[in-house]
């Protein structure tokens, strides 16, 4: 069985690229700050120097974690926001309210799905408002058969 690692490449590449880039920037900043700390504290020896180095690394890791949480929440909001909109719209459509539409922002990652659902709902709404069979009129048309006329012949006169 073949597995697809990228089911929706546009979304997955954006997410993977963003998180990888953020991680790379954090590593560069983290390394730069460690070098600065080591240059500032070369004379500290013993336990105090070790505690200070580990303490500064802990603070840097904590700052990197907060940054990752912030950007991760922002990115997940770009996915979760449209999913909530799509779910609400589908619930309305299940109740035969085809006038519902998905509202997406310009930076949402599921715009294509929302737009496709909007097109589907628009077609269903048009189909719902268009009668399947044209209405029949209630007029009754009477068909009267004409009797043939008796023709007057000369013998009758």
| In-domain check, residue 122 | yes
Q: Is residue 134 part of a domain?
A: no
The rounded distance, in Å, linking the Cα atoms of 150 and 142 is: 24
Task: Please answer whether residues 81 and 108 qualify as being in contact, where contact means their C-beta atoms are separated by less than 8 angstroms.
Answer: yes
Question: Would residue 46 be called left, alpha or beta, if left means φ above 0 and alpha means ψ between -120 and 50 degrees?
Answer: left
pLDDT for the residue numbered 91: 92
In a domain, 104, yes or no: yes
Residues of the chain with confidence (pLDDT) below 50: 1
CA-wise closest residue to 116 among 146, 86, 149 = 86
Q: How does pLDDT run across 81-102, given as a tens digit for each residue?
A: 788 888 889 999 899 888 889 8
Q: Is residue 78 part of a domain?
A: yes
pLDDT, residue 141, reads 55
Q: How far apart are CA 93 and CA 95, in angstroms?
A: 5
pLDDT at res. 145: 62
Give the pLDDT confidence score for residue 1 in this predicted structure: 46
Does 4 map to a domain?
Answer: no
What pLDDT does residue 46 have?
65
**Is 136 domain-assigned?**
no
For residue 23, being part of any structural domain is answered with yes
pLDDT computed for residue 56 by the predictor: 77
Domain range spanning residue 125?
Answer: 9-129
Give the span between the Cα atoms of 60 and 10, in whole angstroms.
32
Judge whether 110 lies within some domain.
yes
What is the domain count for the chain? 1
pLDDT of residue 119: 92
């Amino acid at each position: 069985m073949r597995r697809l690692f990228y089911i929706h490449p546009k979304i997955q590449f954006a997410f993977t690229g963003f998180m990888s880039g953020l991680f790379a920037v954090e590593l560069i900043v983290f390394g730069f700050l460690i070098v600065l700390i080591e240059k500032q504290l070369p004379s500290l020896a013993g336990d105090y120097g070790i505690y200070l180095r580990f303490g500064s690394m802990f603070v840097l890791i904590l700052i990197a974690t907060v940054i990752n949480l912030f950007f991760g929440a922002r990115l997940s909001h770009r996915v979760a926001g449209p999913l909530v909109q799509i779910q609400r719209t589908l619930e309305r459509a299940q109740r035969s309210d085809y006038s519902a539409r998905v509202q997406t922002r310009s930076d949402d990652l599921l715009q294509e799905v929302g737009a496709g659902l909007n097109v589907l709902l628009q077609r269903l709404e048009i189909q719902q408002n268009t009668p399947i069979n044209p209405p029949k009129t209630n007029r009754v048309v009477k068909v009267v058969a004409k009797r043939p006329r008796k023709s007057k012949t000369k013998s009758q006169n």
